[in-house]
Amino acid sequence: MADPPQESDDGDRLIDAYRRYFRVMLVDDTPDLLQEVYRLRYQVYCVEHSFEDPAQFPDGLEKDEYDAKSLHSLLIHRPSGGIAGTTRLILPDPNEPVGSLPIDSVCQEPSLRDPHKVPRARMAEVSRFAVSRSFRRRIGEAGSPSAVTEESLAAMDAAKKDLSNRRLAPHITLGLIESLVTMSVMSGTTHWCSVMERALLRLLSRIGIHFDNLGPQVDYHGKRQPCYRELRALLAQVKEERHDVWEILTQEGSIGPSE
């Protein structure tokens, strides 16, 4: 498969260039599409990276106990019909939201467990942010499931010098986040949390997407940063800093989180 452009063509609006190459597909409970999600995750997390033991998934489908209470998406490459990436939004247990997300097992920050500070019933976890190997071809991208490493960031800087250029942004990352916004609106989610690679957080901040740290880094398949953000505040800051990115994430303002 040809390596698709990761930035918009000169003269294009970012959203037009993005839509020319990618579209979001929400998986819902469609068995065949869920198989594609689990198959890609197996390839990325078990075969290409030793995050999970492939012996635990003899059917070649990586899944866990959180999938049943998650919303899933695929990012489709329009020209080829291939799957570029996948991610999921893990919803909290409505009966006992505190302690029901994976982040609770690795992050000991007290505010995470304080319902007066964080509305746990409406906070979901961003998880399994994975990009297909066919779309991780730039320098350093193969070193991370998200296709973002310190090496890939340095390569971007060397090539473009300034990623804040208003026409530039990584399409696959934006497509997966667009899907997370859509799934959040569907589920009534108002806050996101996650345990992310610092390189991915730095890339996101360069295009106006900012998270707040939840305590120090933790050892979770390498060093990771627990983080969170209210979705309305996140999108408002994106709109102020990168209106072109906001257009993609909110489908030109047609969707957004509830109050």
Rounded CA separation 242/259 (Å): 22
E strands present in the chain: 22-26, 70-77, 83-90, 123-131, 191-196, 212-213, 218-219, 223-230
pLDDT, one tens digit per residue, over 96-142 is: 999 999 999 999 999 999 888 899 999 999 999 999 988 866 534 45
Amino acid at 77: H
Looking at residue 54, its pLDDT comes to 94
Dihedral sign for Cα atoms in the order 256, 106, 226, 37: negative
How big is the chain, counted in residues?
Answer: 259
- Which pTM value belongs to this model? 0.87
The domains located in the chain, with CATH, are 14-249 (3.40.630.30)
Asked whether the predicted pLDDT for residue 12 surpasses 60, the reply is yes
Q: Give the confidence band of 160 by pLDDT, cuts at 50, 70, 90.
A: low
Residue 86 in 3-state DSSP?
strand
What does the pLDDT look like over 224-255, one tens digit per residue?
999 999 999 999 999 999 999 999 999 999 99
Per-residue pLDDT at 201 exceeds 70? yes
